[in-house]
A = this chain, B = another copy of it.
């Protein structure tokens, strides 16, 4: 009917999880927003897409070519936490438990989706470690088949690298087990088996 309406609905449905009904509802909501509010929103979207960068050290999203975490002198520069994606950095930062650096792989190895090791920022990770400051590499990828594969691949690459690096470097993996709030009844066998095998002593 209205080309303007059709266009905005069509464009919004490109986004994941937004069908025609939701897109229409969003368009109707935009009519109740001030014109300037809508302009501010679209400007933020454009700005983000046009100007966001990836940190040249850790591959995290950044407004500058080196991200604030890599620049922060108060952070522990001897530890690097390897994660799949930007969202994982946010999740870990929110815990306020970790003070080291990050390394964002940009995905996991997934032959099904055609993602191989060369599509991930693994060389950059080895390059950073090769600089010699890192003493611990924490692998914090998902406990999925793809995550485990990626972890295994990185381990192999690291082993090769570590022979040529001075001093010891620990490689650790975040704990696997029963999540807080999870019921044992619904946990899978592999998780339970691992959780029993890796039980920790109570004080």
Contacts and interface: CB of A to CB of B under 8 A. Distances in A.
Nearest to A10: B44
Contacts of A62: 1-2
A25 interface: yes
Nearest to A18: B26
A84 to B, nearest CB: 12
Please name the 6 residue pairs, one residue from A and one from B, whose CB atoms are nearest each other, closest first: A42-B42, A8-B48, A38-B49, A11-B41, A11-B44, A7-B44
Given A2-B63, A8-B44, A12-B45, 5 more contacts: A1-B68, A4-B63, A28-B87, A30-B48, A35-B50
Copies in the complex: 2
A16 interface: yes
Contacts of A5: 48, 52, 61, 86
A39 interface: yes
A69 interface: yes
Interface string A1-33: 111110110111011110000101111111101
Interface of A: 1-5, 7-8, 10-12, 14-17, 22, 24-31, 33, 35, 37-52, 60-63, 67-69, 85-87, 89-90, 93
A90 B4 contact: no
Contacts of A69: 1
A69 to B, nearest CB: 7
